[in-house]
Amino acid sequence: MCGICGFVTKHTSRLDLRHLRRMNDIMAHRGPDDAGDFVDQNVFLAMRRLSIIDLAQGHQPMLTPDKTLCVVFNGEIYNYQELRQELQQKGYHFLTDSDTETLLHGYHAWGIDGLLSRLNGMFGFCIYDAAQKQLFLARDRAGEKPIYYYRNSDYFIFASELKVLAHTHSVPCTIENDALAGYLLHQYTPGSQTLLAGTYKLPPASYLRLNTENLDYEIISYWDIPHSTSLASASLEEHKAKLYDLLSDSVKIRLRADVPVGAFLSGGLDSSINVALIATLGITDLNTFSIGFEHQDFDESPYSQQVAQHFGTKHHHFLLNPRELISLLPRVIAMVDEPVADAASIPTYWLCQESRKFVKVALTGEGADELFAGYDYYRHLPYSLPPSPAISWKQKIKQFLGLSNLPLDLQGMPDPISGFPLMTPFHTIAQLLVSECSPEYLLASYHRQMTKNFSIFPDHLLAKAQYYDTKTWLPDDLLMKVDKMSMANSLEVRAPFLDHRLIEYSFTLPDELKIQGDTVKFLLRESFAELLPASILNREKHGFNLPMHIWLKGDLKELVMDTLNSDTLKQEGVLNSKVVASILDQFMNHNASCERLVYSLYVFQQWWHALKMP
C-alpha cells in the first residue's frame, strides 16, 4: 500500500527530479515507511510506501534485473502467492516475498491484459516498459484505488491524489463548471472528470497505455460485470454454500499481511459477517473497532459490543463529540482530496485515526449493500413496472436548467434508475452556478452507465439499479471516502465483499434471493444465519447515520456561515452568493430539510480553499 506519482516529459518541459520529489512528499501520509524514485531519460516515477507485505525487501520502485521494466504500485494483490507459484513454474525467479514482484514478472509473462485478468486485489499501479517505450496505468475492478492524470503538449502527469497534481503548479488550478454541476447533482464528482479543468480519474477496471515518446494515450476497459444465468436453477442451499465459500475465501486471502490486521465492526450485518468468518479461521486475538456519538439515537455501540463479546474480540469503541468534530472537519475535507459531501467521511476519518494506534490493516463491509440489495430504496424494485420509454431525460434536463425563475427546490429528488433519494433538482443547480452548465454533460453524468451491459437488464429493475450504484455511487463516493480517510491516517482498509468473484456471482442471483417482502439482503442473511446472533441477523440497516441537522445548526453553524459568506462567494465568482444565502436562510431559520445540500456547499467551498493553499 502506498501512493504513486510520476510524469513523462518532452524536451520542452521544465519538470525535473525536484518536482517529482516534491510531488511524492505531498503524499507522505499514504506511505510513511519508505520512499523511492526512478528516472529514465524523460520518465520520472516515485512512490511512498506503507509496508504491509515483505517489510524488509518490498522497496519500490521495483525493477527487473535487466532494468527494462519498472513498477510503482499502490494497493494489494491478494492472490499474489498463487500467481507467484504459477510464475515460478514458468521459470521466473523471485528476489523478494512481496506482491509487487508478481506484477513485474506477470506483465513480462502474460502482457498487460493477461496480467490484469489474473489479479485479485485493489490497486492503482504504473508499469514502465522501457523497451517498448510504453507506460501503463491500471486501476482495480471495483475502483478501490484512484489514479488521477493530466496531459498537455509538454508532459503527462499522474498521481494517487488530486492535490498532488494541483500543488505541482504544472496543472491549471481552475474549476470545471460542468463537473461542479455534476458534484451538486450527486454530492460527489461522477465519472472520469474532476473539478479541476483538464484533470481526470482513470475509470475502474481500466488501464491507460501511454506512448512515452509522443505522449499519445488510450484508455482500455479490461472488465465489466457480466450477467449470467448459469446458476438460475440452483437451489437455495446451493446458493448459500456458494456464497459462504466465496466470501470465506475472500476474507481469508485479505488477512495476508506481515503486520497486525483488525476489522471495523459497526454491529451491522456486513461487518459482523467479516468478524464471524475471521473467527472461523481460528484467529482469537482480533482487534475490532467501532465509533459512536453523544446523541444516543445515532449510537450503535450496543450492537458492536454484542458481536465483539459473541466472538471474543478485543473491541475498541471510540466516541466522536462536537468539539472533536469542529477540530477535525477542515482536515477531513482537505484530505478527502476531491469533494465528497458524504458526512460519513468524518467518523470514517476518526475511526481510521484511532484504529491505526492498534493495527496497520482493517477489514470493512463496503460493497455488500450494492451487491446483495441492502438499501431501503431497492425494496420496491422487484415489484415495479419498467419505466416508460417515452421519458426523455435530456429534454427534462434542458427544460429544468432553463427555469431560473422557479422557487428553489431544497428537497432531494430520487434517481429514476436506482431510486437514490437525495439528488439535487436540476433547476436548483442552474441557479447555484454563476456560469451555465451543459445539459449534455449532466445527462452524461446522470445516465453514464446506460451502455453496454446496462442494456441486458431491460426488465430487471433491481439488477439495473444495483449495476448503476456499483458503477457510480460505490467507486465515486463510498470507496473514494474510504481510500482518502484511511490513507490520511496511514491505515490500509480491505473490503472482502469487493472480491471480483463475489461481484460476478451476485449478478447471477434472481430478485427473490436478494429481497423477500421487506427483507433486504435475503441470501446474505440466510447464508450466515448459523454464525450470527439473531438480534444482529434481523437488524435493520443503519449505516453511518450522523446528527448533521443538529450539528449544522449548532456546533458547526459558525464554521459553515463563515465559509459560505457572501463577500467571499462574490469575489470567487463560482457559486451564486444570493442563492447560497437563500438556502442557508431556509435551513437555519425556516426549518427546511436540506442539510445535505448545505453540507455539499460547505464541503466544496472548504475544499476549494484548501486546494489553493500552497
Per residue in 463-485, pLDDT tens?
Answer: 888 988 999 899 999 999 999 99
* Percent of the chain topping pLDDT 70: 89
Stretch 144-170: mean pLDDT, rounded? Answer: 93
What is the C-alpha separation between 595 and 313, in angstroms, rounded? 37
Identify the band that residue 599 occupies on the pLDDT scale cut at 50, 70 and 90. very high
Return the pLDDT at 447.
56
Asked if 222 and 213 touch (Cβ cutoff 8 Å), the reply is no
Which parts of 81-194 are beta strand (E)? 121-129, 134-139, 148-151, 155-159
Return the pLDDT at 449.
44
Stretch 166-189: mean pLDDT, rounded? Answer: 88
Mean pLDDT of all residues belonging to the chain: 88
The pairing of beta strand 261-264 with beta strand 287-293:
parallel
Stretch 519-540: mean pLDDT, rounded? Answer: 90
Lowest pLDDT segment from 37-46, 85-94, 328-337: 328-337
Return the pLDDT at 235.
92
Q: Mark whether 2 is an active-site residue.
A: yes
**One-character DSSP codes across 387-409:** PPTT--HHHHHHHHHT-TTSPP-
Report whether the peptide linkage leading into residue 61 is cis, meaning its omega lies within 30 degrees of zero: yes
Asked if 179 and 189 touch (Cβ cutoff 8 Å), the reply is yes
Query: Of 2, 5, 126, 352, which one is the catalytic site residue?
Result: 2
- Enter the CATH code of domain 2-221: 3.60.20.10
**CB atoms inside a 10 Å sphere around CB 545:** 16
Cα dihedral value 112, 140, 447, 163, nearest 10: -110
- Residue 8 or 534, more confident: 8
Stretch 231-241: mean pLDDT, rounded? Answer: 87
Identify the band that residue 292 occupies on the pLDDT scale cut at 50, 70 and 90. confident
Return the pLDDT at 450.
46
Residue 309: pLDDT above 50?
A: yes
Asked if 148 and 388 touch (Cβ cutoff 8 Å), the reply is no
What is the C-alpha separation between 583 and 568, in angstroms, rounded? 16
**Is 236-376+460-537 CATH 3.40.50.620?**
yes
The conformation of residue 415, written as its DSSP 8-state character, comes to P
Asked if 155 and 215 touch (Cβ cutoff 8 Å), the reply is yes
Identify the band that residue 123 occupies on the pLDDT scale cut at 50, 70 and 90. very high
- Residue 9 or 393, more confident: 9
β-sheet with 217-221: strand ranges across: 62-63, 69-77, 121-129, 134-139, 206-211, 217-221
Return the pLDDT at 396.
60
Stretch 595-602: mean pLDDT, rounded? Answer: 92
Stretch 596-606: mean pLDDT, rounded? Answer: 93
Sign for the pseudo-dihedral over CA of 511, 517, 521, 523: negative
Cα dihedral value 357, 358, 360, 364, nearest 10: -110
From residue 326, give the alpha-carbon distance in Å to each of 335, 356, 552, 558, 598. 15, 21, 11, 10, 16
- Which runs of consecutive H residues, i.e. helices, occur in 336-388? 345-355, 368-372
Return the pLDDT at 250.
98
pLDDT tens by residue, 215-231: 999 999 999 988 766 66
The conformation of residue 476, written as its DSSP 8-state character, comes to I
Return the pLDDT at 366.
96
pLDDT tens by residue, 415-430: 766 777 777 888 888 8
The conformation of residue 477, written as its DSSP 8-state character, comes to I
Return the pLDDT at 204.
96
Report pTM: 0.93
Return the pLDDT at 388.
47
Domain ranges for the chain: 2-221, 236-376+460-537
Of residues 358, 380, 328, 350, the one with CA closest to residue 544? 350
Phi-psi map region of 52: left, alpha, beta (phi>0 left; psi -120 to 50 alpha): alpha
pLDDT tens by residue, 379-408: 888 766 555 444 455 666 666 665 556 667
